[in-house]
Amino acid sequence: MPDFQALALEAEFLSRFRRTLVSGDDVFAFGASDAGPGFNDLLLCLDRGTGKRRWEFGGRESPFDILSPVCADESAVYVGRNNGVLYALRRDSGTESWRLARGRGMCVPALHGSDLVVSEPPASVLRVDRARGRVLDDPRATLHQIRENLRALLVPHASLLFQVATDGTLTELTQSWPTRAWIASADAFTFGPAALFVAGSGSVRSFDLGDGEELWSTEGPPEVRRLETDGRMVWALAAGGTIGALDALSGEARWSRKIGTASSMAAWKGRVYLDMNAKVVVLDGETGGTVGEIALEGAPYGAVVAEGGSLFVARAAEPEVVMHCVPVEGGRERWRARIGGYGLT
């Protein structure tokens, strides 16, 4: 029998990072293959301009079919599955180019420069040949190890590579920081042009991306779930329905307000978009004032993404899950696409 509790915890951890990926002419979105029961993940490639489904991957291989966050280069899409296999899919068709069967649980891929790197249980971060799907056998192949009872995934940023683990620690793996390698209690984080912003343990902190030194620390709302920045401001969304803004250079508080429960947040050109029940609320990032609302059917299903003047928002409304593409300024919906049944993902 599968360990239902362990699978549920792994799915919850992965969902924090498994966002819709908008890249080039493609939108890679997560849906559900059917109405359950179980975790029946589906990865879909949609045409960015029309929402037309190009291909799909995943589905009900077992009652608990969980997919990892995805990454993509010009020719391939990389995704892990909880059967212990990493897949490389052709970007144009979704057909399998290769598979790497490790058999150790979920493999979570990331692209770091020219490298394909993979985090896998129980403890390894590996480099993989992305043309052939083989673990590179060289002294740099294993980058880092963590405790056996933890799970982790990888977050690349420019020349740096970070690992976030289920115990909340954030570790820089390339050893570019001379005095600091890890940050504890990273409940949420985001990158600015020159700084990393981390929320955890009731505070928000800023770290220099060059050397890892702490630039400032300030008390923040408890239980921050999302951070966003445009390099000038940092916006923090808390589980209790509070959102606040800090000056990115000093950490000085700019404004704070109760907004109600929002599942996710995105920022675009000085505006903040909060995904809430039946609507996306638009705030002025400088003042916190509400400047608009975008009505959408259903409940939030995944993270809202702002890219190229469009919002990509998944909504669950029985009996289906739908991806909406709407202008960031509101107005007529550009397209909507069904991305699955209303399953437990």
Closest by Cα among 306, 316, 276, 309 to 294: 276
Those residues whose C-beta lies under 8 Å from the C-beta of residue 311, and which sit 6 or more positions away, are 266, 273, 280, 294, 304, 305, 324, 325, 326, 327, 328
Q: Which two tokens stand for residue 191?
A: 């990158």
pLDDT digits (tens, 9 = 90+) for 14-61: 878 888 999 999 999 998 876 554 567 889 999 999 999 999 998 766
Q: Say if residue 1's pLDDT is above 80.
A: no
Residue 116 is predicted with a pLDDT of 95
Is the distance from CB of 65 to CB of 79 less than 8 angstroms? no
d(CA 290, CA 258) in angstroms, rounded, equals: 12
Residue 82 is predicted with a pLDDT of 84
pTM here is 0.91
d(CA 231, CA 160) in angstroms, rounded, equals: 18
1-11+67-165 — its CATH code?
Answer: 2.40.10.480
Closest by Cα among 137, 120, 31 to 80: 120
Residues comprising the chain, all counted: 345
Q: Which two tokens stand for residue 289?
A: 């004032």
Residue 123 is predicted with a pLDDT of 61
Residue 37 is predicted with a pLDDT of 47
Q: pLDDT category, 141, cuts 50, 70, 90?
A: very low
Q: Say if residue 144's pLDDT is above 70.
A: no
d(CA 223, CA 228) in angstroms, rounded, equals: 15
Look up residue 61 and give its DSSP letter: S
Q: pLDDT category, 345, cuts 50, 70, 90?
A: very low
* CA separation, residue 244 to residues 24, 224, 313 (Å): 32, 10, 22
Closest by Cα among 68, 164, 73 to 111: 73
Q: pLDDT category, 138, cuts 50, 70, 90?
A: low
Residue 233 is predicted with a pLDDT of 97
pLDDT digits (tens, 9 = 90+) for 66-124: 889 999 999 999 999 888 899 999 999 999 999 999 877 788 999 999 899 998 876 67
Residue 35 is predicted with a pLDDT of 57
pLDDT digits (tens, 9 = 90+) for 225-257: 999 999 999 999 998 889 999 999 999 999 999
Q: Please report the DSSP string for 153-166 in residue order.
A: EEEEETTEEEEEET
* 297-328 exposure pattern, b = at least 16 Cβ within 10 A, e = fewer: ebbbbbbbbbbeebbbbbbbeeebbbbbbbeb
Share of the chain above pLDDT 90, in %: 59
Q: Say if residue 62's pLDDT is above 70.
A: no
Is the distance from CB of 99 to CB of 133 less than 8 angstroms? yes
Residue 167 is predicted with a pLDDT of 85
pLDDT digits (tens, 9 = 90+) for 314-324: 998 878 889 99
Closest by Cα among 165, 190, 134 to 173: 165
Residue 60 is predicted with a pLDDT of 66
Query: In terms of pLDDT, which residue wins out, 7 or 214?
Result: 214
